[in-house]
Amino acid sequence: MRVFTRAGVVKLQRKKSGMERQELEQRFRHNLLQHCGISCGQRLLVAVSGGSDSVALLRLLHRCIRPLGLQLVVAHLDHGLRPASGADAVFVARLAAGLGWPAVFGFASVAQQAQQQRLGLEEAGRQARYDFLYQQAHRLGCAAILLGHQQEDQAETLMLRLLRGTAVSGLAAMAWRSGLLARPLLDCGRDELLSFLALESQDYVTDASNAELCFSRNRLRHQLWPQLQQEHPGLSRRLAQLAQRVAVEEDYWQQQLQPLLLQLEPLSEGFRLSLERLRPLHPALRARLLREVLRWLRGDVQGLAAGHYAQLETLVQAADFQGVCCLPRAVVVRTRTALEFLRRLPVPEQDVEECAIPGPGRYPLPGGWLEINQVPATAAADDRCRIYLSSQDLRWPLQLRSARPGDRLAPLGMEGHKRLKDLFVEWRLERQQRWQTPLLCQQERVLWVVGYRRSRLLLPQPHEQWVWRVDFQAVAPKSR
């Protein structure tokens, strides 16, 4: 049996720590090259707050990159939220200078920006930070912006998304690489990074706001997380691994989506996707496709919840074709053969004053204008902003007005009549929009809920050579 003296134990511990550091460095280098797509010789912007994670990031880079010929520029933004924030900038400046790397600094008045843009402090800070980092990366010709998010951050992000009701793809949490942003520490534990810093005799700053419980992430970190960790040791690691697996699967789904997205038919205000293509898809693939189309249309999918996707699924499966689904910033209209994904029309700012339309011409509306012309009957189909009316059955004058309680519509695509009030609820139109949406009527009968649905009335007959074309052009309200 070997007996170790105290000095021997210390020596052994040092050896173990040295080996752990070596393993951490190897993993870090692998993450940098394989997961984050960094190539030899590139210039990188390293975002350093002065906290333990980003300081560890900088020190790891400093140790690992010499053989790779990478150049670093350190970047720090002072959010101006704490009296001591200037001291963090000084700390980062000294650290960068000590390691021999250039550094850039910025200042943002985050509290003011949060007030102006009606954002929470966390969100405003994030926006200001990313604006600053992107600007600097472009100005300095950097190939990537490296961030110090680590395993616990990843697990917290996944958990917060879960608690807020994410789609499955949201469980992928933060990506190793997303555009310019790269996160090479995603599989490194906080304790592992702290041990590394201790071994390097490197200090770091502690941000007092990280302990403030007004931020949801901090509440999770300090209140819920310790309890969960106690019950389920290794939870952070397992959640971060789950995020990685979901990311790989999402990559697979993206590949499956590509050929389907090529089948999207562009419209002037959105896209059309035929039911023939949508219906045979597996529901999982269909849900992702619908989500992706909405992302294309709106630029993001914020504010869309599971209930919205369930509504779209109902539209796809419905036998009749009168459906409309109003979503935040988008409207999806079901036609006989397709779903049309359209940008939301601007909400009119006032009711439409009732006016008579004595004949063809152009008529102003609060939210735009309406134009009626006689045109040769062609195969042209109605859409949300254009309908064709029979010239044989139309009797002038028509009327334009806002909806009234008691109005009914005989929606094209289904039998019978429906109360507009019920249709508005079914379409999820906001209250304000319900009674300000213009209606085109003939003798009190609704022909068209402008911008949404037409009725079966006055459909052009097959033998007609000329028909009336009614166009609606929406005008965005002037910003006040």
Ligand X SMILES: Nc1ncnc2c1ncn2[C@@H]1O[C@H](COP(=O)(O)OP(=O)(O)OP(=O)(O)O)[C@@H](O)[C@H]1O
Site residues, ligand X (CB under 6 A) = 47-49, 51-54, 75-77, 79, 129, 147-149, 153, 207, 210
Q: In terms of residues, how long is the chain?
A: 480
First and final C-alpha spacing in the chain: 84
Give yes or no for a contact between 31 and 185, defined as CB atoms under 8 angstroms apart. Answer: yes
Give yes or no for a contact between 48 and 132, defined as CB atoms under 8 angstroms apart. Answer: no
52 is in an annotated binding site: yes
* Kind of pairing between the strands at 445-449 and 438-442: antiparallel
The dihedral built from the CA positions of residue 234, 36, 165 and 289, taken in this order, carries a sign that is negative
Task: Kindly tell me which of 48 and 440 has the beta carbon lying closer to ligand X.
Answer: 48
Question: Distance (Å, rounded) from C-alpha 305 to C-alpha 312?
Answer: 11
Residue 433, phi then psi, degrees to nearest 5: -75, -25
In whole angstroms, how close is the CB of 43 to ligand X at the nearest point?
A: 17
Closest CA to 204 of 92, 47, 304, 37: 92
Task: Kindly tell me which of 129 and 286 has the beta carbon lying closer to ligand X.
Answer: 129
Task: Kindly tell me which of 129 and 288 has the beta carbon lying closer to ligand X.
Answer: 129
234 is in an annotated binding site: no
Q: Tokens 């005008």: give the residue.
A: 475
Task: Kindly tell me which of 207 and 292 has the beta carbon lying closer to ligand X.
Answer: 207
In whole angstroms, how close is the CB of 116 to ligand X at the nearest point?
A: 20
3-state secondary structure (DSSP) of residue 272:
strand
Give yes or no for a contact between 451 and 474, defined as CB atoms under 8 angstroms apart. Answer: yes
53 is in an annotated binding site: yes
3-state secondary structure (DSSP) of residue 52:
helix
455 is in an annotated binding site: no
479 is in an annotated binding site: no
In whole angstroms, how close is the CB of 154 to ligand X at the nearest point?
A: 11
Task: Kindly tell me which of 149 and 308 has the beta carbon lying closer to ligand X.
Answer: 149
For 22, other C-beta atoms within 10 Å of its C-beta total 10
Task: Kindly tell me which of 186 and 264 has the beta carbon lying closer to ligand X.
Answer: 186
Structure tokens at 429: 């139109």
- Whether omega before 397 lies within 30 degrees of 0, making that bond cis, reads yes
Give yes or no for a contact between 302 and 318, defined as CB atoms under 8 angstroms apart. Answer: no
Task: Kindly tell me which of 147 and 159 has the beta carbon lying closer to ligand X.
Answer: 147
Name beta bridge partners: 401: 439
Question: Distance (Å, rounded) from C-alpha 313 to C-alpha 445?
Answer: 31
Task: Kindly tell me which of 54 and 311 has the beta carbon lying closer to ligand X.
Answer: 54
Cα 330 → chain centroid: 14
Query: HSE (CB half, 13 Å, CA atoms) of 115?
Result: 3
In whole angstroms, how close is the CB of 123 to ligand X at the nearest point?
A: 12
Structure tokens at 296: 């294309």
In whole angstroms, how close is the CB of 57 to ligand X at the nearest point?
A: 6
In whole angstroms, how close is the CB of 184 to ligand X at the nearest point?
A: 11
For 365, other C-beta atoms within 10 Å of its C-beta total 18
| Alpha-helical runs (H) found in 65-148 | 85-99, 110-117, 121-140
In whole angstroms, how close is the CB of 303 to ligand X at the nearest point?
A: 24
131 is in an annotated binding site: no
In whole angstroms, how close is the CB of 240 to ligand X at the nearest point?
A: 14
In whole angstroms, how close is the CB of 243 to ligand X at the nearest point?
A: 15
Task: Kindly tell me which of 129 and 453 has the beta carbon lying closer to ligand X.
Answer: 129
Instruction: State which amino acid sits at residue 434.
Output: R
**Residue list for the binding site:** 49-54
- As annotated, the binding site for ATP includes 49-54
